[in-house]
Every structure is written in C-alpha cells, then in structure tokens.
Amino acid sequence: MFAGQPSDEAMLAELYDLEHDEITEDFAFYREWARRHPGTVVDLGCGSGRLFRPLLDGGATRIVGVDGSPALLTRAAARIAADTWLAAADAAGRIHTVVGDVRAPAVSERFALAVMAGVVAHLDGPEAAVRALTRAGQLLAPGGVLIVDTLGPGGWPPHDLPLSVDWQRRMGERRVVRRSQLSRKATPEGLRVDYETLTDLMEADGTIMRLPAGFRLWYPSISAIVALAAEAKLEVEAVFGSHDLESLDERSERCIVVLRGATGGPGMG
C-alpha cells in the first residue's frame, strides 16, 4: 500500500541525519584546525551541526552556523539540546545559527576559521562558487583561513547508475529503504551529477510513505577550485586528499583546500 506524499522538509532533514550522522572520520581534522586557528568559527552550510562538537572541542570560542535549510537548523537545535556539553556552550552564547545562503549570509563579524564542508557540490557551479568563496573570504579575520572540503576524484561516481538500493536502515519503528539513480557529465570544471532518490519509509502496519527527491551536484576539480579561489582573492595555503592530511591525487576520496586572503584581498585587514 502506498501513501504517495509530497516531499516533506522535516522528514528529509531527519533522513539526512540518518545518513550523515554516522560520519565522524573528519572530527579529528576539524578539531585540529580549530586548535590551530583559535577564536571564532563560521560553519558555512552547517546542516544539522554535525561539526559543532569537534570545532568546540578544538577550542572554538564561538560558532556561527549558517544553512539554507530551516529544517536542518531545527535539527541542529535538537542536537544541541540533546548534548549537555553543547547545551552548556549554547547557554554560554557560544553557538549561534542563522538561516541564510552561503553566497550572501547575513553575518557581520570576522572569524579565525571558516568551514565549507560538503557544500560546494550543492552550489550551481563556478559562478555561485566564486560568490560563496568571495563572501567567505570577507568573513575572515586577519590570519584566518577558509577550509573547502569536497568529494575527491577517487570518490566521484565512475559511470551512470540505474535505480538501485543504496541502503536500508531503521528509523525508530520504521524501516527505511533508499534507492537512487544518477547520471553524470564530465565538464572542464569537474563533474556534474544528477541524482534522483526514492526513499521508502515502511510503517509497522505495512503503509509505505515514498519521498522522491532530486539533487544536481557539482564536484569541482582541484584546478577549478584553485582558479575560483584566485577569482575570489584567496590564496591556497594547503591541499589534502584526505582528513589524515594525505596528498591529493586521482585516487583521493576528499579534496580539501585551505585558503587564506590574498595579499591585499579579503581577510587581510
């Protein structure tokens, strides 16, 4: 029995957490960069605040999380409330979230560290990325750095995929089955991927709620990121192919670029 449903933002946000919350392999990396750049942190495209804890653990004095999804920020509030340590930091005024577009966030302070983790893929392409990088650069305090963390070439889908099951999990009483299909197109600035997902939530009584969703993702190549960063008046400080600081090559699962304001550019005064 099918209960065809329109996409439900809160439900999609809960499913997002079900899929992403188990990712912890980057925590030590973000703890370390917060330690290296003591002070305030802006987490651009923070989602449900997955990185808040490692950033605070690393010594961030205050975190401003910006995300375009109010539903994910509601889940960030739930995450904070459920964690006594995060709740104490929040009560002390050390966590602030704001709904906004990373291309034009309504944030006026400057930060020692800016993080854009898993976000560039969701931007429309180079033009949107330059706007986001330019704005992020303007948010840097002198000496501050911006970390752009995206899927590396070793993690890019190698070919189109027909509809197939990605995973099955439990969410409370429900059984969740996620299927997806993708089509990809190589472009000079990286890889464009159209994903269509079908998520079935099966209730104990056999009712199925089906949530269809579509995403257009863009995985920029390292050369595209470096060129866009230069346009945004940012200079490359370091490039890594993993959160363990391995060098970037064709097999790298991540492409992590640490940027700072170019001389005379944003973040330099």
| Residues within the interface to ligand SAM (CB under 6 A) | 20, 45-47, 50-51, 67-69, 72, 101-103, 117-119, 122-123
Shortest Å, Cβ 252 to ligand SAM: 17
- Calculate the dihedral angle through the C-alpha atoms of 110, 234, 254, 120, rounding to the nearest 10 degrees: 70
* Residue 20 or 251 having the CB closest to ligand SAM: 20
Q: How far is CA 90 from CA 20, 76, 109, in A?
A: 22, 11, 18
* Residue 101 or 246 having the CB closest to ligand SAM: 101
* Residue 98 or 268 having the CB closest to ligand SAM: 98
Q: Please answer whether residues 189 and 220 qualify as being in contact, where contact means their C-beta atoms are separated by less than 8 angstroms.
A: yes
Shortest Å, Cβ 167 to ligand SAM: 16
Burial 59-88 (b: 16+ CB within 10 A, else e): ebebbbbbbbbebbbebbeebbeeeeebee
Shortest Å, Cβ 145 to ligand SAM: 16
Q: What is the DSSP string of 29-76?
A: HHHHHHHHS-SEEEEET-TTTTTHHHHHHTT-SEEEEEES-HHHHHHH
SS3 string of 67-84?
Answer: ECCHHHHHHHHHHHHHCH
* Residue 21 or 203 having the CB closest to ligand SAM: 21
Shortest Å, Cβ 13 to ligand SAM: 9
* Residue 67 or 189 having the CB closest to ligand SAM: 67
Residue 178 is encoded by which pair of tokens? 């996620």
Shortest Å, Cβ 219 to ligand SAM: 12
How many Å apart are CA 8 and CA 12, to the nearest integer?
6
* Residue 37 or 50 having the CB closest to ligand SAM: 50
Shortest Å, Cβ 235 to ligand SAM: 23
In the chain, the N- to C-terminal Cα span, in Å, equals 62
